[in-house]
Amino acid sequence: MQRAPEEWREGAGDETVVKRRKGDSEDMKGEWRKNAGGTGVEEVEKETLMMELTRMVQKMVKESSWWERRGIDCSILAAAFLCLPPAFLLLSSSQILWFSAGMLLMGVAHGVITIKGTHLASHGALSESQAWGKVWAVFFIEICGSFSARAGVQGHIKMHHAHTNVIGLGDSSVWKVPFLPRFVYLFLAPLAVPIITPLVALAHLKGHSLAHIVRTILMVALGLYSQYWLLIHVSGFMSPLSTLLCMLICRAMFSVPYIHVNIFQHIGLPMFSPTGRPKRIYQMTHGVLNLPRNPVLDWIFGHSLINCHVEHHLFPFLSDNMCLKVKPVVSKYLTEKQLPYQEDSYLSRLNLFFHKYQELMVFAPPITELVGVQ
């Protein structure tokens, strides 16, 4: 059982508060609670830790340009799509060097589009318009990612983010496959993700309307067939088997780190019971971990999935670039308030999961109770 420092503990059913002079900010007034002084002359506004941090981040967002808020990430996605034509052309080469370059280029482009793109689209971070947000979600998640947009948003936004590390809800148990040996799970099974993903999408269609089922199947089929058709008619593949094999290799190129990232940043950290979860800021700072910056994964997965995962869980509406921009403010604030800001290296987490696979990926996790915070 972990114990929280005295200043974290709740008093009279409220979080730790920070006093501010009236008029310091207009952004959060609707959320602040007012506490009149004993004489009624001086009015003091109080804000919770999460409210104060939110106010600081919102100020940075408002001061940022569209290029910083969305443009940089949209440009990275556009660059990935622009890499596809030369990739298909390189795959038509009979020289092994150029063919390999085409395979690598298509794998990287596919990784950026289906990992970074689908993640940002699921959060509506690609557009300020809700209507366009839904369009991008269907395009990236269903056509490019071969999954159901509705199931993706439900599982990621409404379960994982809303109930981060809460047992039975957002505890990342969806990634556990207890019957697989550790080596198979960590290094071989992820290669089957491109095959498993559309099958899982079909399973999630049960109980939905006929229109939704038909749309999802058509969108997923469109994405898969488009790549298949282009490989045959542009790259010149002669047999269906070689075409499908090329699709599998390109789509599975970053499946291993994809599975690793999804388990490294939550499993093995404090887990909470549905009836005893702490306040949001404590829940996210204890249950989320950042990996260090990595020039490959930062571009392909996005900062919010790698080195700014804590910031992403605190502010899931931010784009990757904005998560990176607010990172110094968030890390400094959490450190000053003596809240955890967890970071660990990729190899360190891999070593941990390899040697404690049974404990972390097979057995049920222990429930953490932050005394005085729940």
| Mean pLDDT, range 88-111, rounded to an integer | 97
Residue 47 has pLDDT above 90, yes or no: no
Query: Rounded CA gap, 317 and 161, in Å?
Result: 11
The contacts of residue 229 (CB under 8 Å, 6+ apart) are none
Residue 20 has pLDDT above 70, yes or no: no
Residue 6 has pLDDT above 50, yes or no: no
Q: Give me the pLDDT at residue 172, please.
A: 85
Q: Give me the pLDDT at residue 45, please.
A: 37
Q: Could you report the per-residue pLDDT of 104-119, keeping only the tens digit for each? A: 999 999 999 999 999 9
Confidence at 3, pLDDT banded by 50, 70, 90: very low
Cβ burial of 317 (10 Å; 0-12, 13-18, 19+) is: exposed
Q: Give me the pLDDT at residue 373, please.
A: 53
| Mean pLDDT, range 230-249, rounded to an integer | 96
Query: Rounded CA gap, 46 and 16, in Å?
Result: 9
Confidence at 372, pLDDT banded by 50, 70, 90: low
Q: Give me the pLDDT at residue 41, please.
A: 36
Query: Rounded CA gap, 129 and 211, in Å?
Result: 24
Query: Rounded CA gap, 327 and 110, in Å?
Result: 27
Q: Give me the pLDDT at residue 43, please.
A: 36
| Mean pLDDT, range 237-255, rounded to an integer | 96
Query: Rounded CA gap, 33 and 77, in Å?
Result: 42
pLDDT above 70 coverage of the chain, percent: 86
Query: Rounded CA gap, 150 and 72, in Å?
Result: 26
Angle between helices 72-82 and 320-336 (to 10 degrees): 140
Q: Give me the pLDDT at residue 31, please.
A: 37
Compute the Cα dihedral for 280, 282, 284, 287 and give only its sign: negative
Q: Give me the pLDDT at residue 24, please.
A: 45
The single residue listed with the structure tokens 């040697």 is: 355
Q: Could you report the per-residue pLDDT of 197-211, keeping only the tens digit for each? A: 999 999 999 999 999
List the beta bridge partners of residue 290: 343
In DSSP notation, 110-128 reads HHIIIIIIHHHHHTTTT-S
* pTM of model > 0.75: yes
Hey, where are the domains in the chain?
Answer: 64-362
Query: Rounded CA gap, 285 and 265, in Å?
Result: 11
Angle between helices 255-264 and 193-203 (to 10 degrees): 60
What average pLDDT does the chain have?
87
E strands in the chain: 17-20, 33-36, 43-48
| Mean pLDDT, range 239-248, rounded to an integer | 96
Query: Rounded CA gap, 137 and 120, in Å?
Result: 9
- From 18, 219, 31, 195, select the one nearest 118 (Cα to Cα): 219
| Mean pLDDT, range 31-57, rounded to an integer | 59
Q: Give me the pLDDT at residue 343, please.
A: 96
Q: Give me the pLDDT at residue 365, please.
A: 83
